[in-house]
Amino acid sequence: MSAGQVRDRYAVVGNPVAHSKSPYIHAQFAAATGEPVEYDRLLAPLDGFVEHVQAFRAAGGRGLNVTVPFKLEAHALADRLSPRAAAAGAVNTLRFDEDGIFGDNTDGFGLVRDIEVNLGVSLKGARVLLLGAGGAARGVVLPMLERLPREITIVNRTAQKAHALVEQFEGAAREVGCLINGGGPDAVFRDPIDSKPYDVIVNATAGSLDAALPECDARAFGSGTLAYDMMYGAEPTVFMRHAESLGARASDGLGMLVEQAAESFFVWRGVRPEGAPVLATLRKQLAAQA
């Protein structure tokens, strides 16, 4: 990219947004790929999301990453949705096309790619336990199903919400030959007598934000289990520490953040940057804060 080249404008929109690592991540992607991208933060008032998006677009903006609390509003604003955004019911990536606004959700893709590529755990034929049934969980089920797991069990404190998710994805699971089931915390094992550890356990609850542990049978964790927390911080989360105490391997969601950003970059530019080098740098930065 030459010094005088006009750069296309992108940003992350949210409230709050000052803490976002997205500008750093996308600056690294732009440098690595040579794509003429300029990326900023956009703080939108809680009641002014649509106006801020339209103003950014009118000023020549090409796309946005959307973070809390605007992912549902972004879903409503989009003229067209990707299948994964439609399934998630939420949008974290907006692309401004000549014929309207395209909405996508790259969170689930980011999770799957981090698990399979960065952590080296294949989801094909795996038994997966998903803790939580909110927006974060809903966004990852379809991308997981595309990797052909053998079984996905969704467990939530409110069993009704887990049942609703199971119902939503039953058809897609059937198509790929995956057993999907779930309910309250007692649904971790359909047959408590034959209780084997899961291959992958994903904590999609917000519990780690306030150091709360999701309710989960300790027998779900074993030495062959990857316990993945979608949250991340300078220190291991309470869920990660719990999983490790039960003999499992644990990971946080920093890689998911980087990989969902790489997929957003691909949605915008048609070029997929490598996430691993950026992830390694962010890990060093986090370790320095610990």
Q: Cis omega before residue 69 (within 30°)? A: yes
Q: How many domains does the chain have?
A: 2
Which of 72, 90, 105 is the last residue in one of the domains? Answer: 105
Q: Determine how many CB atoms are found less than 10 A away from the CB of residue 191.
A: 7
Inside any domain, residue 137: yes
Looking at residue 206, its pLDDT comes to 87
| 261 found inside a domain | no
Residue percentage of the chain with pLDDT more than 70: 99
In this structure, are 249 and 112 located in the same domain?
yes
Distance CA 24, CA 201 (A): 29
**Known binding site: residues?**
20-22, 67, 92, 107, 132-136, 156-161, 230, 232, 253, 260
- The alpha carbon torsion through 236, 242, 248, 252 (nearest 10 deg) reads -30
Claim to verify: residue 83 and residue 200 sit in the same structural domain: no
Q: 116 and 228: one domain? A: yes
Q: Are residues 101 and 124 in the same domain?
A: no
Edge to edge, the sheet with strand 127-131 lists 179-183, 151-155, 127-131, 200-203, 226-229, 249-251
pLDDT at 4 over 70: no
Does residue 159 form part of some domain?
yes
Looking at the domain assignment, is residue 285 inside a domain? no
pLDDT tens-digit map of 59-83: 999 999 999 999 999 999 999 999 9
Query: Which residues are annotated binding-site positions for shikimate?
Result: 20-22, 67, 92, 107, 232, 260
Last residue of a domain, one of 83, 105, 127: 105
Specify the 3-state DSSP secondary structure of 21.
coil
Rounded to two decimals, the pTM is 0.95
Q: Is 11 exposed, middle or buried (0-12, 13-18, 19+ CB in 10 A)?
A: buried
Residues 81 and 162 in one domain: no
In a domain? residue 203: yes
Q: In terms of domains, do 100 and 128 share one?
A: no
**Beta partners for residue 227, in sequence order:** 201, 250
Average pLDDT of the chain, as a whole number: 95
- Are both 177 and 249 inside the same structural domain? yes
Asked whether 121 and 199 are in contact (CB, 8 A), the reply is: yes
Same domain membership, residue 118 and residue 245: yes
- Asked if 81 and 27 touch (Cβ cutoff 8 Å), the reply is no
Identify any residues that bridge with 103 across adjacent strands, giving them in sequence order: 81, 94
Residue 1 falls inside a structural domain: no
Element (H, E) at 181: strand 179-183
Q: Quickly tell me which residue has 């009641």 as its tokens.
A: 47
Please state at what angle helix 159-175 crosses helix 135-145, rounded to 10 degrees: 20
For residue 201, the model assigns a pLDDT of 98
Residue 1 in this model has a pLDDT that exceeds 60: no
In this structure, the answer to whether residues 71 and 137 fall within a common structural domain is no
Binding site, annotated residues for NADP(+): 132-136, 156-161, 230, 253
Residues 64 and 77 in one domain: yes
Q: Are strands 100-104 and 93-97 parallel, antiparallel or unpaired?
A: antiparallel
String of DSSP letters for 180-193? EEEESGGGS-SSGG
Quick check: is 265 in a domain?
Answer: no
Looking up residue 158, the CATH number of its domain turns out to be 3.40.50.720
Residues 142 and 232 in one domain: yes
- Is 71 an active-site residue? yes
Q: Which of 105, 137, 156 is the last residue of a domain?
A: 105
Q: Tell me the residue range of the domain where 54 lies.
A: 8-105
Cβ neighbors of 163 (< 8 A, separation 6 or more) are 182, 183
What is the rounded distance in angstroms from the CA atom of residue 35 to the CA atom of residue 132? Answer: 37
Is residue 217 one of the residues assigned to a domain? yes
34: its two tokens: 């040579």
pLDDT in tens, 107-157: 999 999 999 999 999 999 999 999 999 999 999 999 999 999 999 999 999
Task: Report the distance separating Cα 233 and Cα 242, nearest Å.
Answer: 16
Tokens 């969704």 correspond to: 154
Q: What is the CATH number of the domain that holds 29?
A: 3.40.50.10860
CA distance 190 to 206: 25
Q: What is the pLDDT of residues 118-130, one digit of tens each?
A: 999 999 999 999 9
Q: Are residues 140 and 20 in the same domain?
A: no
Q: How far apart are CA 278 and CA 290, in angstroms?
A: 19
Q: Catalytic one among 71, 124, 196, 284?
A: 71
